[in-house]
Each structure stands twice: as C-alpha cells, then as structure tokens.
Amino acid sequence: MSAAPLRLALVQCVAHVCEGRDRRVLDDLIAPLRAVAGTRVADVHMDPDDHRSVITILGPPASVEQAALALAVGVLARLDLRRHRGLLPRTGSLDLLPFVPLGSATMAQAIALARRVGQELARSHNLPVFFYGEAATRPERRWLGGLRGAQYEGLPHKLAEAGWQPDAGPPRFDEMRGAVAVGARRAFVGFNVWLDTGKPEVAREVAVAVRESAGGLAGVQALGVALPRRGIVQVAMYLLDVATSSVPAAFDRVRSEAAARGVAVRRSELVGLVPREAFAGRTPESVGLVDFEPRQLLESHLPGDA
C-alpha cells in the first residue's frame, strides 16, 4: 500500500561534502544538525573511494535552511581541498547543496530557499557561489557542466572567464574551500552497481550503453569508475525519472551489458534515500541491494497522514 499523499510542506536537502573516510570528522559535522528543531538527518552515505559523503536532511523549509547553514559552518571551517583526493569531480569542500520540494512544498519555494542559502553562504564565508538546477540564473548553468569539468584544480581559470562569474560572492579562488554549488531540483535516485572486475574500461563501456545521452535508458546518467580500495569497478548512475526508468530497469540493463562482456554483477548500493515507487514492484534483493534497510525508503521518514 502506498503512503498517503503528503499535505505538509517539506524539503529534502542532499548535501555533498568532501569527507568520506573519517567517520569521526563526519559525526562532528553532523552533530549540530541534530539540534535543529523539526529536521531529521535521514541518511548518511560515506564513500572512501570518492572521498565524499552525501548527507540527507529532511524537514520543514525554514528548519532545513537552518540545518544547511549549520552544516556549512563546520564543513567550510574544517575540510581542506588542498589535501583532498577522490574519484568524482568536485569544486568545493561543500560541493553540492541541492534542495528538493516534497509534499505540498513547491519548486518555487525550493528555488527561493536555495537562493537565500547561497546568498548567505557568500556573505558569511566570502565564497563564490553558483546556482544550478531549477535555481539557475541562466540556462547554461542548470547542470554546471563547464564548472564541474574544470574541478577544483581548474577553478582559478574558470573564475577568470567572463561567462563564469559566480552568482553570489567574490570571483576569487579560495584555496582551502573552493566554490559552492547551491541548487533546487526534483527528487531522483543515486544508484551504483558494482561489477566483478577490476577493469575500468568495462565499467565505462557499460555506462555508455546505459546512459540516455548515448542512446540508453531515458532519464539515466551513468559513469564508469574504478574503486581501487575494493579492487573492482562500478557503474554510478543518477535515475532522474524513476517512473520512466526504474531501479530494476537500470539494474537489469547494467547486468545484461556486463554479461555481454563476460562480467558478473557483484552487488548494488543506494546513495541517499529512494521512493518506494522506484522499485516498480520488485524487491531490493532482486536489484542487488543485499543489505537494504527499510530506513532507506524515503517514505519511512515522512509522516503518513501529514
């Protein structure tokens, strides 16, 4: 049975921070959030290879805004990109800060929230801030491809380009903290599939076959990367519309493409929370989520009769 429709205005903040190896540091960063009335730290996903954690915060808009700013204070004071190395692109120690409307909350509310938070981060921390997704101030910044491609190391040159002045804050390079990307977007699912091989080229080939931009599944972004600490590779995916391309559809396609190359699937993992509908009637175990817990369902954190 599906959960009752939400009538409360709620927001999900999915913060990406550049610390994925020291749990004590991450716990220190999260601790102040638990004191913000009305919010819940619903999920924390640490990845040592990416050296990144994804922290999911849920609550009413005003409370989530307060929690996001509290998280930023700790992250920007403590994490130093000069000593950071990981697999995924990053431009800031507080790398991505998207806000997702839930229940009766509107995208307009999420956009306004993102822009308030971005302006406050720029003012309080004297950092360059870029707005992306639905909060973008110009069409070419919806996905921030140019900025993300440059990464932290290319940020000084990017900030000097006429087309890449920040939306808020100074156009200067902060060696320790980089820049912050603050956005608003619809909910989507982060879903990774581990392949039983150490060959990165296999993961890259499978990712190309799966992603929409190369003729694969609609609404799927995919990247093939090595996981050196585990000695395997993975296909990392964002499922942007699970009604069109569900978790089972993505898993089955990855498994099929890997098998065609003589490689088995080892297991899968979620990055953040997943709505129940994303499973399209299948069990978590059938898509490689061998240690799935009910708390990973988005609905488990929402009031059923709100």
* Predicted pLDDT of residue 89: 86
More confident residue, 294 or 3: 294
Report the range of poorest mean pLDDT among 2-11, 20-29, 121-130. 2-11
> Is residue 127 over pLDDT 70?
yes
> Is residue 3 over pLDDT 50?
no
pTM above 0.85, yes or no: yes
> Is residue 20 over pLDDT 50?
yes
Distances (CA, A) of 266 to 33, 61, 230, 281: 35, 39, 12, 22
Q: Which two tokens stand for residue 24?
A: 């004590």
- What are the beta bridge partners of residue 139? none
| Cβ atoms of 67 and 10 closer than 8 Å | no
More confident residue, 173 or 8: 173
Percentage of the chain beyond pLDDT 70 is 97
DSSP state of 110: H
251-280 average pLDDT score: 97
| Cβ atoms of 16 and 88 closer than 8 Å | no
More confident residue, 254 or 228: 254
CATH 3.30.70.670 fits 189-301, yes or no: yes
| Cβ atoms of 273 and 242 closer than 8 Å | no
Query: How confident is the model over 54-103, as pLDDT tens digits?
Result: 999 999 999 999 999 999 999 999 999 999 998 888 999 999 999 999 99
CA distance 288 to 284: 7
The average confidence (pLDDT) of the chain is: 94
> Is residue 164 over pLDDT 80?
yes
* Predicted pLDDT of residue 204: 98
- The β-bridge relationship of strands 180-184 and 129-133 is parallel
Give me the amino acid identity at 129. Answer: V
90-119 average pLDDT score: 97
186-214 average pLDDT score: 97
DSSP state of 139: G
Give one word for 272, left, alpha or beta, with left for phi > 0 and alpha for psi -120 to 50.
left
CATH assignment of 9-184? 3.30.990.10
* Predicted pLDDT of residue 2: 40
Which has the closest alpha carbon to 39: 64, 6, 61, 21? 64
Which has the closest alpha carbon to 231: 184, 196, 198? 198
At 7, the pLDDT band (50, 70, 90 cuts) reads low
> Is residue 240 over pLDDT 90?
yes
Percentage of the chain beyond pLDDT 90 is 90
Distances (CA, A) of 296 to 118, 293, 302: 28, 6, 12
Query: How confident is the model over 202-222, as pLDDT tens digits?
Result: 999 999 999 999 999 999 999
> Is residue 304 over pLDDT 70?
no
Sorted by where each begins, the domain ranges of the chain are 9-184, 189-301
- What are the beta bridge partners of residue 15? 55
Q: What is the CA radius of gyration of the chain?
A: 19
294 three-state secondary structure: helix
* Predicted pLDDT of residue 229: 86
At 133, the pLDDT band (50, 70, 90 cuts) reads very high
